[in-house]
Amino acid sequence: MDSEARRGYIKRALEIAEERIRGADLARACQVSRQIIVGDVALLRASGMDIVSTPRGYYLKKKQKGLFRTFVCCHDRNGTEEELLAIVHAGGMVHNVVVEHDIYGELEGHLDIRNENDVAHFMKQIRETGASLLSSISGGIHTHLIETATEEEMKQVEEALRKCGMLYER
């Protein structure tokens, strides 16, 4: 499969996918290395495709119908799981985490956390890799873009974060 055909395959796969697609799976299907897929995704993005990369794979950003709100939170590493579970239990989806860096400005990590399984997977990755959280460079202060289906769920997310002491309201 030449590069043009491979990018066409990736584009079609992302357009019809209902779940995230792992880069390793795309590499296997196209019989190329994972790094070739990374390059192809970069070229597809440059051509205008809105491809999101998460630790659990790629997906094509679709027009969202839900409600969106950014919450400012603050906690240490030990509060991460409690925070994420509070959000998903209240009906929220965590799109990202953003921190402010003195030199680089805003740094964003795509999370795409929708449920308890996603939280468990994220926490397992943190434990197994020993990776630092983005919020470690900002004293624990960070924002999350949250999506809910209804205004009532958004209020429940806010109340859940306030109740567990993670909503930054100073």
Dihedral sign for Cα atoms in the order 40, 45, 49, 50: positive
Phi, psi of 88 (to 5 degrees): -70, -35
Q: In this predicted structure, what is the pLDDT of residue 66? A: 87
Task: Name the superfamily (CATH) of residues 67-163.
Answer: 3H domain (3.30.1340.20)
pLDDT of residue 113: 95
Residue corresponding to tokens 């799981």: 81
**pTM of the prediction?**
0.71
> CATH topology for 3-60?
Arc Repressor Mutant, subunit A (1.10.10)
Average pLDDT per 10 consecutive residues for the chain, totaling 170 residues? 92 90 95 94 91 87 82 95 98 96 91 95 94 93 95 97 92
What residue spans define the domains of the chain?
3-60, 67-163
Cβ atoms of residues 41 and 51 within 8 Å: yes
Residue 48 pLDDT: 87
Tell me, what's the pLDDT at 61?
A: 81
Dump strand ranges (E) for the chain: 51-54, 57-60, 67-74, 93-101, 105-113, 141-148
Looking from the CA of 140 toward its CB, the CA atoms found within 13 Å total 13
Task: State residue 63's pLDDT score.
Answer: 63
Task: Characterize 12-39 residue by residue with b for buried, 16 or more Cβ atoms within 10 angstroms of its Cβ, and e for exposed.
Answer: ebbeeeeebbebeebbeebebeeebbee
Report the alpha-carbon distance of residue 141 to residue 88 in Å, rounded: 20
Strand-pairing partners, residue 123, are: none
Q: Which pLDDT score, from 0 to 100, does residue 78 have?
A: 93
Alpha carbon of residue 147 to chain centroid: 12
Contact 95, 104 (CB under 8 A): no
Taking alpha carbons only, the member of 64, 51, 73 closest to residue 148 is 64
Q: Which two tokens stand for residue 29?
A: 């299907």
